[in-house]
């Protein structure tokens, strides 16, 4: 079983790339973030034509998340948003797929540590933590996938000095990431890859991708039950090389049967 996460930065723009990537890399579960489209215009027909089913939580202009599963897999017990949290931004969707609880999240960016959006990010992270903790009481097999907008360590950014205490790398954000790990989850990428300069997002400007000046902010955290099945986790840079790419690229986790 393969699970992947990809911030597509507009599904309307990137739909052909999503279909192409799924043709080349037919993962069983693909979590998408930043759909940037309303609920009623989700391209379900095209997704189904590619051999996938979908559950989605759309929002125009910004945000929006979806979980795609390869047929004949089913999406069971779908939950939209964080239960009990009145959040106007559509950032979370969850479903059970083949016994695995999949939570797809588009974490708040925060803009800057002195921005009014930063306290919202910390509040949102707290609400998500409580939600995941509750889900773990019922789902020993759980994966939290998404664009976290958090680089957990200095080795996850191309220039730690310039990023020091900036948004994505600030102490409170990294503490929130560690708090999720402390629930009993593991950063699946780091189970296998300890190399430096491994990133999942690159700014469009200044040829940052070509120069590999990026940040690793797309993650898949998994429970011990899934850790026991994990055999690989990789960052697939291929779609970032395509014409009009997303600024993010997929992260793929492979689980043994």
CA distance 90 to 122: 16
The catalytic position among 106, 131, 148, 158 is 106
CA distance 228 to 221: 13
Q: Which pair of tokens denotes residue 189? A: 């990428």
Is residue 248 part of an annotated ligand binding site?
yes
CA distance 206 to 210: 9
Least Cα distance to 34 among 18, 49, 45 occurs for 18
Is residue 109 part of an annotated ligand binding site?
no
Least Cα distance to 75 among 42, 29, 123 occurs for 29
Q: Which long-range contacts (CB under 8 A, 24 or more apart) does 208-215 make?
A: 209/240, 209/241, 212/158, 213/158, 213/159, 214/158, 215/151, 215/156, 215/157, 215/158, 215/163, 215/168
Q: Which pair of tokens denotes residue 257? A: 């049967």
Annotation marks residue 62 as catalytic: no
The catalytic position among 139, 148, 158, 248 is 248
- 8-state DSSP, 39: G
Is residue 98 part of an annotated ligand binding site?
no
68 to 32, 42, 181, 242: CA distances (angstroms): 8, 12, 25, 22
Is residue 247 part of an annotated ligand binding site?
yes
Annotation marks residue 248 as catalytic: yes
The catalytic position among 28, 147, 156, 218 is 147
Is residue 219 part of an annotated ligand binding site?
no
Q: Which pair of tokens denotes residue 230? A: 């994990």
Least Cα distance to 238 among 2, 65, 46, 17 occurs for 17
Is residue 149 part of an annotated ligand binding site?
yes
Annotation marks residue 147 as catalytic: yes
In the annotated binding site, the residues are 7, 34, 147, 149, 247-248
Catalytic residues: 106, 147, 248
In the annotated binding site for Mg(2+), the residues are 7, 34, 147, 149, 247-248
């Amino acid at each position: 079983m393969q699970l992947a996460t990809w911030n597509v930065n507009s599904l309307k723009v990137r739909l052909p790339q999503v279909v192409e990537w799924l043709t080349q890399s037919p993962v069983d579960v693909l979590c998408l973030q930043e759909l940037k489209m309303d609920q009623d215009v989700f391209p379900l027909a095209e997704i189904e034509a590619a051999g996938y089913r979908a559950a989605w939580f759309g929002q125009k202009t910004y945000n929006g998340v979806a979980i795609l599963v390869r047929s004949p897999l089913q999406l069971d017990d779908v939950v939209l948003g964080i239960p009990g949290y009145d959040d106007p931004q559509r950032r979370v969707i969850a479903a059970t797929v083949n016994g695995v609880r999949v939570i797809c999240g588009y974490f708040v960016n925060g803009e800057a540590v002195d921005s009014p959006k930063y306290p919202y990010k910390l509040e949102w992270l707290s609400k998500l933590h409580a939600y995941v903790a509750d889900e773990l009481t019922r789902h020993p097999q759980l994966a939290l996938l998404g664009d976290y907008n958090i680089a957990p360590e200095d080795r996850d950014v191309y220039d730690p000095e310039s990023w020091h205490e900036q948004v994505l790398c600030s102490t409170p954000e990294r503490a929130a990431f560690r708090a999720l790990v402390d629930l009993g989850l593991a950063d699946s990428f780091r189970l296998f890859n300890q190399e430096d300069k491994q990133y999942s997002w690159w700014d469009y400007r200044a040829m940052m991708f070509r120069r590999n000046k990026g940040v690793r902010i797309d993650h898949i955290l998994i429970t011990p039950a899934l850790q026991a099945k994990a055999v690989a986790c990789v960052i697939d840079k291929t779609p970032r090389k395509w014409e009009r790419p997303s600024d993010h690229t997929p992260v793929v986790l492979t689980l043994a049967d």
